Amino acid sequence: MDLAAARLLLVGCGNMGSALARGWLAAGARAGNIVAVEPAPEAAAAFAEGPGPVFVRSVAKTPSGFRPDVILFAVKPQVMDAVVPDYRPYAGSGAVFLSIAAGTPIRFFEAMLGRDAPVVRSMPNTPAAVGRGVTAAICNANVPPDGRALCEALLGAVGAVVWVTDEAEIDAVTAVSGSGPAYVFHLVEAMTDAGIAEGLSPEAAGALARATVAGAGELLYRAPEDAATLRRNVTSPGGTTEAALKVLMADDGLGALMQKAIAAAARRSRELGG
């Protein structure tokens, strides 16, 4: 099934939900085939300049006769207990349940929706808002091949999709790519502060740090070389970059700190999943 024919029920249309919906529309989905269950009236404002989903305030208000092919849960993990049971009537209808909630395992949805419910668990990240996200996904044995393919198309509308074979890997995915954009944003903050300490104005330091990280990211995206090769390519022996990297690559430098940070995020993901 292609996106133009898919009927989609989006549960939650906040930042990530609206980013997904915009990606679907750009990829050919029909606005009338997307129903968004979102009680916040301002959610529709994200689509003020073009076609958007059919907004309803609760699942009870879903248009009569609407039979979704995929039901995507895009609400916060803390409210899943209250939200998911309302969708049990769709179990057995042929719909695939797709979740983007951190720390919410497949077994949770099977308990709420029934053991036979087809469930795909995924972990996207916020660059999905600009079509440059990356999502890892895993499905239970109840998901048919066409259901998996449709979920891949939905997630792929906002970036790359990687399937994993062990659900335990999702905790590491959450720590690396799910939370990863925040690490990059903090890097820009740290570079800005360091530039100010060296005498730059806040405006200049901020502009330089932001453009440098954005440009380096784009180069990494386009270049065939890996990150280590690109790093070596810009490091002249005895130069300024090498001096900085001796600090960053020390035993207690960025590598060790990043391992600790990612381990903390993965540990918290496991805690959220019970």
Q: How many domains does the chain have?
A: 2
Residue 1 lies in a domain: no
108 and 195: one domain?
Answer: no
When pLDDT is cut at 50, 70 and 90, the band that residue 183 belongs to is very high
Task: Read off the DSSP letter of residue 61.
Answer: G
3-class SS of residue 124: coil
Residue 3 lies in a domain: no
158 and 191: one domain?
Answer: no
Percent of the chain scoring above 90 in pLDDT: 87
pLDDT tens, 255-266?
A: 999 999 999 999
pLDDT tens, 214-234?
A: 999 999 999 999 999 999 999
Residue 2 lies in a domain: no
131 and 248: one domain?
Answer: no
Last residue of a domain, one of 173, 193, 218: 173
User: Which residue in 59, 68, 88, 63 sits closest to 150, CA to CA?
Assistant: 68
150 and 38: one domain?
Answer: yes
What CATH number does the domain containing 251 carry?
1.10.3730.10
49 and 184: one domain?
Answer: no
Neighbouring CB atoms inside 10 A of 139's CB total 22
Last residue of a domain, one of 173, 188, 217: 173
Give the pLDDT of residue 54.
94
Task: Give the CA diameter of the chain.
Answer: 71
When pLDDT is cut at 50, 70 and 90, the band that residue 244 belongs to is very high
Taking residues 196-208, report their average pLDDT.
Answer: 98
Q: Which domain holds residue 223?
A: 180-272
On the 0-12 / 13-18 / 19+ scale of CB atoms within 10 A, 247 is exposed
When pLDDT is cut at 50, 70 and 90, the band that residue 41 belongs to is confident
pTM of the full structure: 0.88
The overall average pLDDT reported for the chain is: 94
3-class SS of residue 147: helix
Give the pLDDT of residue 91.
94
What CATH number does the domain containing 46 carry?
3.40.50.720
131 and 239: one domain?
Answer: no
When pLDDT is cut at 50, 70 and 90, the band that residue 272 belongs to is confident
pLDDT top residue among 75 and 273: 75
166 and 254: one domain?
Answer: no
On the 0-12 / 13-18 / 19+ scale of CB atoms within 10 A, 173 is buried
Last residue of a domain, one of 173, 201, 227: 173
30 and 149: one domain?
Answer: yes
192 and 263: one domain?
Answer: yes
168 and 52: one domain?
Answer: yes
pLDDT tens, 86-135?
A: 999 999 999 999 999 988 999 999 999 999 999 999 999 999 999 999 99
Neighbouring CB atoms inside 10 A of 127's CB total 18
